Structure 1
Amino acid sequence: MTDVRAPVQDARDLLVRAVEIPSLSGQEGEVAAFLRDWMAARGFEARVDEAGNAVGERGHGPLTVALLGHMDTVPGEIPVHVDDAGVLHGRGSVDAKGPLCAFMAAVATLPDEALAAARFVVIGATEEEAPSSRGARHIRTQLQPDVVLIGEPSAWEGLTLGYKGRLVVKAQAVKENFHTAGDGSSAGDDLTEAWFRVRAWAAGAGEPGGVFGGVQATIQDLGAGTDGLHQRAWGTFGLRLPVSVAPAQAEAAIRAALTDLEGVNLTFVGHETAVRHPKDNALTRAFRVAIREQGGSPVFKVKTGTSDMNVVAAHWPVPTLAYGPGDSALDHTPEERLDLAEFDRAVAVLRGALTRLALGAAKAD
């Protein structure tokens, strides 16, 4: 009987060590080198590319599968440890070193017949948590895969088909100072009116019913002040956009709604287009079977955040889904943690799904 304890422990050790290495966005060099070396020692052709991505390739078949995760994290130090229940605590355990390490561990243990049928390219991308998305923007120009997996927490039974888009509105109001007993509006009044109009537009935009189809609007930053001569007020408004509303459409609508507010200047950043992929193709079928083989019930999901799926979708118009162990509700929180038993199941699901996908493609040829 094959002893499966060694690869399971190897995968767990990989994850724990990766989480132990700090890797804020823009500071991923140490973890990239570690992941490269881990892959090189297990038969990958591994490198750190020009964008700082850790890239590893195995297999030489005609089907190219891109497994795009990210290795950067948001700030917030959480002491890294595995508790008595077998749960790993630490920043990045869920978002998204858990999914990335699951990709690496699965590809490292694929059978020879899968490696003969497909080429598997694992990417640990840089700066996913930053507006730049540097790693994904670089790799999307270097690779033309036939199938794409995005490494994000979906829980081991979950398959994420889409993410909402994003637009960030930076508004600033400037007015000459005047006595508060006088007639007229302040810079703060004008900025508040701008927010009310943005919120009103959002409430009527998108598709009726359901959070994924609507426009969500939140205030991310707000402030006001004066130098004695001029009043200034500023705010940052975040919009989550559905597939039916492109960022350029949202920008045009907001500019039109605020056009008569003199002195309110607008800057728009973070233009990310929403994406939703089909739920029935060779990729999703392979995962449904693999999840059932591990005793689970597949669940399709869409998410209101964004990911590197948004960045690569237009460049890689192929079957795509996001998958990975972990509860996405723990992303960015002080309670970020990952059950290692769930991590093990996700690795097994990935190994089974990737093998089925590769052999199915070979059979189709």
Structure 2
Amino acid sequence: MTARPGSGPRPAHHDLLIGAVAIPSLSGEEAAVAEFLRGWMATHGFAAHLDGVGNAVGVRGDGPLTVVLLGHMDTVPGEIAVRVDNQGVLHGRGSVDAKGSLCTFAAAVAALPPEALAAARFVVIGATEEEAPSSRGARHALTGYAPDAVFIGEPSGWDALTLGYKGRLVARVRVEKDNFHTAGEGTSAADDLTEGWFRVRAWAAGVGEGEGVFARVQATLQDLGASADGLTQRAWATIGLRLPPGLSPEEAGEALCAAFADLDAEVTLLGHERAVRHPRDNALTRALRVAIRAAGGTPTFKVKTGTSDMNVVAPHWPVPTAAYGPGDSALDHTPEERLSLAEYDRAVAVLTDALTRLAQTLTPAALP
């Protein structure tokens, strides 16, 4: 591993991040990194444990309010050699999505002053299976906490915060019909499936037409195939929909099924989440904005076309919520995933400041 610029020992929060990124943790295989995170938190002032689904949980503070900081430990596949280059940039799978954000949470809470810890209880959760349809770690966390404010660990950039994510729906479509000679009249199974897909695309194009991408439906084919054995033709596809606020997965599912209704297709609706968009102005966003400005930045608000654990927890935790974390989300899931340690440092400083301010201002009167 190439040494970072400068001399002297690495800060403890750098060891935390580099160590976490160096441990492979595909969805469902997070045990090793969970134990590493638990151990780091236990030696930095947290009451730390692994819960029933393998989440790494650390708690500091004993105030009357509860702030949950929910990040995820798992990554998508794709091995990237872990190294810190001569510019102080950490390369490795998960550096941006989203161990950088999770480690920012742990490092910031570890650095909180006594007055913040007296005002609130801070719960850092390294969740399992966020990159899988199950969102197992976040769903389990819903059963154990009733927070007054929530941070979601996803890359926003150190000087920005994310307020919303689109929803999603996944459907599997299958068409079967008797084989026939291609010189005759009629349509093949693949023809029928393709016709249904064109209808889905046309419907999607009409939702939010003329508005920004966050208000529109994005439709993609995730899988497509066809076969024949001389007796039966088969065609199949997996369709993914990204849904805007105001369009529920149930409504999108009805539209998708209607597109295939006269094509004798079998449509199976799979994983789904509702879109979410939180308000711009509340105690949490004010604390983050002030902290970003104090660090020399100009705070910006973002909404994203993907999904996150914010979609999972929002219906159950109707409290001030934002996603925050260092890094460029355009690098998520790519071979170029990397995170500047300098940006990570700034995010830790900003979040420590924001949590300290939030603990002093977040009262029952400030909540919705």
TM-score (norm. length: structure 2): 0.95
Aligned to 2:296, the other structure's residue is in SS state coil
1:166 aligned residue: 168
TM-fit CA distance, 1:204: 1.1
Q: What letter is aligned with 2:170? A: V
Change (3 A) 1:14 1:70: same
Change (3 A) 1:6 1:244: farther
1:134 corresponds to 2:136:
yes
1:303 aligned residue: 304
Query: 5+ unaligned residues in a row in structure 2: which ranges?
Result: 1-6
1:331 aligned residue: 332
| Separation in structure 1 between the aligned mates of residue 241 and residue 224 of structure 2, nearest angstrom | 15
Aligned to 2:203, the other structure's residue is in SS state helix
TM-fit CA distance, 1:208: 4.2
| Separation in structure 2 between the aligned mates of residue 87 and residue 75 of structure 1, nearest angstrom | 21
Tell whether the 8 Å contact from 1:117 to 1:362 is kept in structure 2 after alignment. no
| Separation in structure 1 between the aligned mates of residue 132 and residue 50 of structure 2, nearest angstrom | 19
TM-fit CA distance, 1:200: 0.9
| Separation in structure 2 between the aligned mates of residue 7 and residue 321 of structure 1, nearest angstrom | 33
Change (3 A) 1:206 1:158: same
TM-fit CA distance, 1:229: 1.2
1:125 corresponds to 2:158:
no
Change (3 A) 1:318 1:278: same
2:103 aligned residue: 101
Please give the root-mean-square deviation of Cα atoms over the aligned residues, in Å. Answer: 1.6
| Separation in structure 2 between the aligned mates of residue 363 and residue 135 of structure 1, nearest angstrom | 28
Which stretches of structure 1, 4 residues or longer, exceed 6 Å deviation after superposition?
A: 5-8, 362-365
| Separation in structure 1 between the aligned mates of residue 355 and residue 112 of structure 2, nearest angstrom | 8
TM-score (norm. length: structure 1): 0.96
Tell whether the 8 Å contact from 1:153 to 1:326 is kept in structure 2 after alignment. yes
| Separation in structure 1 between the aligned mates of residue 362 and residue 44 of structure 2, nearest angstrom | 25
TM-fit CA distance, 1:363: 11
Query: 5+ unaligned residues in a row in structure 1: which ranges?
Result: none
1:349 aligned residue: 350
Q: What letter is aligned with 2:312? A: V
Aligned to 1:265, the other structure's residue is in SS state strand
TM-fit CA distance, 1:259: 1.2
- Which of 253, 256, 275 does residue 254 from structure 1 map onto? 256
1:319 aligned residue: 320
- Which of 27, 48, 51 does residue 50 from structure 2 map onto? 48
TM-fit CA distance, 1:364: 7.0
Change (3 A) 1:155 1:204: same
Q: What letter is aligned with 1:354? A: L
Q: Give 1:135-214 correspondences, 5 Å limit.
A: 135-206=137-208, 208-214=210-216
1:37 aligned residue: 39
